[in-house]
């Protein structure tokens, strides 16, 4: 009985010191990031749909805030430790978020400057980078359950 108790204590100690399965932890942590990403995507789409007719200041404020939120989601993502099988997709998603944040900042800057061409450039890049982000996010969702 004494050896059994010692074994249980040792197993409990090791379990406390060693983090849970990297894949399992990543999966649940990524789900939280994914929820924020989906909400952010919905908000970006709404901002794009309603941008026409808004003042430059309103566009600057709205898209600047979206850029900040995108950077925040990216920070949460890069803090995660993906298992080796997901590392490449994880890095691709982080890169995509960085590009999308830059595109949103470009649109905000275009609003501040009242520069229609810069706004079109930002929107065009945002469309392209959003496709990559969406595809990569969906691949990660599929692989993390």
Q: Residue 135 falls within a domain, yes or no?
A: yes
Closest listed residue to residue 80, CA positions, set 66, 63, 97: 97
CA 22 centroid distance within chain: 19
Domain extent, residue 82, equals: 56-145
User: What is the tens place of the pLDDT at every residue in 61-111?
Assistant: 999 999 999 999 999 999 999 999 999 999 999 999 999 999 999 999 999
Q: Residue 95 falls within a domain, yes or no?
A: yes
For the whole model, what pTM was predicted?
0.83
The confidence score (pLDDT) of residue 145 equals 82
Tokens of 84: 């080796």
Q: Residue 129 falls within a domain, yes or no?
A: yes
Q: Residue 79 falls within a domain, yes or no?
A: yes
Q: Residue 136 falls within a domain, yes or no?
A: yes
Average of per-residue pLDDT across 117-137: 97
Q: How far apart are CA 126 and CA 44, in angstroms?
A: 10
Q: How far apart are CA 41 and CA 112, in angstroms?
A: 22
Find the Cα–Cα–Cα–Cα dihedral 40, 46, 47, 51, rounded to 10°: 170
Residue 3's pLDDT band (cuts 50, 70, 90): low
Closest listed residue to residue 96, CA positions, set 139, 52, 143: 139
Asked if 138 and 115 touch (Cβ cutoff 8 Å), the reply is no
Q: Residue 68 falls within a domain, yes or no?
A: yes
Q: Residue 138 falls within a domain, yes or no?
A: yes
The number of folded domains in the chain is 1
Q: Residue 50 falls within a domain, yes or no?
A: no
User: What is the tens place of the pLDDT at every residue in 7-45?
Assistant: 444 344 344 444 444 456 999 999 999 999 999 999 999
């Amino acid at each position: 009985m004494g050896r059994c108790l010692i074994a249980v204590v040792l197993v409990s100690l090791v379990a406390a010191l060693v983090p849970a399965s990297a894949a399992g932890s990543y999966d649940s942590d990524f789900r939280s990031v994914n929820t924020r990403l989906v909400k952010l995507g919905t908000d970006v789409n709404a901002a794009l749909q309603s941008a026409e007719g808004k003042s430059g200041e309103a566009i600057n404020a709205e898209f600047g805030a979206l850029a900040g939120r995108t950077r925040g989601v990216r920070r949460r993502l890069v803090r995660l430790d993906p298992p080796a099988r997901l590392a490449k997709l994880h890095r691709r998603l982080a890169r995509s978020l960085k590009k999308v944040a830059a595109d949103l900042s470009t649109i905000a800057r275009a609003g501040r400057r009242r520069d229609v061409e810069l706004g079109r450039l930002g929107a065009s890049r945002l469309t392209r980078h959003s496709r990559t982000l969406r595809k990569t996010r969906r691949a990660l969702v599929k692989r993390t359950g």
